[in-house]
Structure 1
Amino acid sequence: MTVIAASVDERLRLAKDAAREVALLDASRKAEVLGAIADALVARTDEIVAANADDLERGRTDAIGEALLDRLRLDAPRVASLAAAVRDVARLPDPVGRVLDERTLPNGLRLQKVAVPFGVVGSIYEARPNVTVDIASLALRSGNAVVLRGGSAAQSTNAVLVAVMRDALQARGLSPEAIQTVDDFGRDGARALMNARGLVDVLVPRGSAGLIETVVTESTVPVIETGAGVVHVYLDVSARDDWARDIVLNAKVQRPSVCNAVETVLVHRAAADRLLPELLASLTDAGVTIHGDEDTRAHDERVVAATDEDWAREYGTLDLAVRVVDDLDDALAHIRRFSTHHTESIVTSDQAAADRFLAEVDSAVVLVNASTRFTDGGEFGFGAEVGISTQKLHARGPMGLAELTSTKWLGRGDGQVRA
């Protein structure tokens, strides 16, 4: 097993040095290294699952809640899925060296704008051991080193995952210092990572709204902000009954703990009598607690009264807020007020309503007649994702390989001087 440096500062400096090595790897070499990581994850599944069992037991003792326990859990099939995602990333086109722009100046100077690695990518996240592997594999494929702070809830699992990946790098002749963790330094490690300007080139937080806000406000390292998921589905007056039911059920029930699960459903008043009885019954039968306005409660006595806070709440559980709105204008106004600009979907048979929803909703992903669960790097064909950015600078929506690159201009001349 590889030896990890004793101090945070030393680890960050080693990552910076390793980043130069990783940046020079060609596409086939990076793919080979990722293949070795995937093989190692599968080979050491029992070790990973055993460490995860320790984290799960501690999580139950600490009563962290079912949503976080679900995100924390790694069993053999989930480890196999992690390895498959790494292989998917390895098969993706190399983002480094892409020519994004080129031109020849009147004096003959030839210019190219090309994609290049950031250098060292840092990430601070909570109870998500899959992120440990996803971000490391995406970072390596895009020519970057990575420094991880995965939080105390997953500390045992993350320690093993990092060790497995570092061992795989070393076995393939690549510096293991390209993958670092500061988990063992606790909050001091997180603070050091946030203030490592000059050593860490970009920082990506993933987790609760509180964690993201802390990183955004306290970090001196540039941050790509991921956001909370107060996600909406609007059922328009022309929504098909089966689509409305199936899309909302999938968006809420398939995996309620994730950020792309729907949290609020808005129903056009003229369609409420048609859509709500079956929809509410189906959701309740699936174990969902409905928090509804007065109009919604009139359709099912099992619906509990929604509070003002429910419209802005990211439940992460089998809870759902439902409100009847007057029309599309009312739905758009509600979304503007309460959305976290993550994902919103409209269910409609009216092309004009769909076009207007796509044009006017200001979120990272806007869908028509589809479940919000599709907002995911894997589903978008990225192999995995760094996170889902809700900001508007550089990256927005699911972040894959391209979002872990920057650019530089290359100029090739023949002795030109500026007049």
Structure 2
Amino acid sequence: MSTDAEFADARRIPPIPPQPPRRPAPAAPPEPVDDPHTAVLRRVPAEPSTPETPPVPPRPTAPPPAPPGAQPPAAGAPLPPRPARAPGPAVPPQPAARPDAFRDTAAFHLAHSQDLWSGPGAPSRPGGPDPATPQAAAGSAPPGPASARRPQPPWSPAPVPVQGGGPGAPGGLPRRPSASRPGARALAVAACLVLGVGLIGGAAAGSWLTDEAAGATPDAAATFAKGRDVWHNTPVDTLFPRTVNGFGAGPGGADRTWSRIAVAPDSGCTGAYDPKLADALARAGCVRLLRATYVDATRSSVITVGAQITKADQAGMMALNTRFSTRSLGTRTDLMPLPYAARDTPAEDFGRSQRVSWTVRVLTDIPVVVYAVSGFADGRTFAEPQPAEAATKPGAATAPAESGLGHDAKDLADRIGKDFRTAAGNPPQATEASS
């Protein structure tokens, strides 16, 4: 098939001979079934003949000469009428000339090949007749010449179905989902939306339940049982912090800071108390004894804090607390706890004679007895020790009160008791008696 580039020069194209009159089309051999895509090129119809017109004489540019003896018309007089011209044959409009190079292109042949498709004996178009192409009725005469028929478009605007059946036929293209039916993407979006709402709702419900559980009162029996095991389930830095800040804990509301200088190995209670204090605590039993020694920021006072893990149950701890509070066992100087004097520390001279103030706390919600004893870091002896509760009363003017040793013992005992309760899962309380 030729291309437009090969026939760009119209001077080398020979003229196309006129098309002979149409003859009845002979019976066409049957179209091979196994090659439905065979294309048939149609004959090019002849151009309509145009009747020849006589040449039109040129229009004169000057008026004809006047005959001899005639006078020229006066100025302002009307001119004589021109003689009428004999009417000639009507000149039809000249059709637009089509370039010769266009007549041998593929588009030209396809544009003038509709008669072979729509005429009798032409192979039928796959998928049925084209509704845009008029078909001859059965038994009618063949169509007339191309000049007498209505011009057909180069191709039908209707889409031609693909050979092998429509979308629903076997072997055809898959049927596209209808716009009214939700597709896979819409279902996936809906599923993700439902899943996201469910996750958010579950998280909110879990947070609400967790907040309720956190705000609920913990079980007393479970907390008491857990408090017996905190000594080996909790790091020592949690039970005895390296640094303890006491805001407003000193005399007159002064801030205090204590630093840990020694931690005693965990041990039993044998030899850790004076005999009378050991007898008073013997009813509760002893599982473990933990001790640590602190020094204040001025390194002028040292304090030993201890925590005894008992074997008693809740009733036994309540009975022990009642006995200490009703008999004032915490205020007797013969029931003072012993300090822990670690070597090579400011507390290495801290012994029985250097004790200045003390306190003993019997906790009732966990099986723990907390105590604290304080003294001077320079190793001086003190003849009249005073309980921490008496030394911290407003207006107290004793040496333990004015030096702050009573505040050191009381506040450090409160802080260590709070840490043990927190480790057991119970908020701090103030139900126990203190000496």
The structure with more radius of gyration: 2
Higher relative contact order (CA 8 A, sep 6+): 1
TM-score scaled by length of structure 1: 0.19
- The structure that is helix-richer by fraction is 1
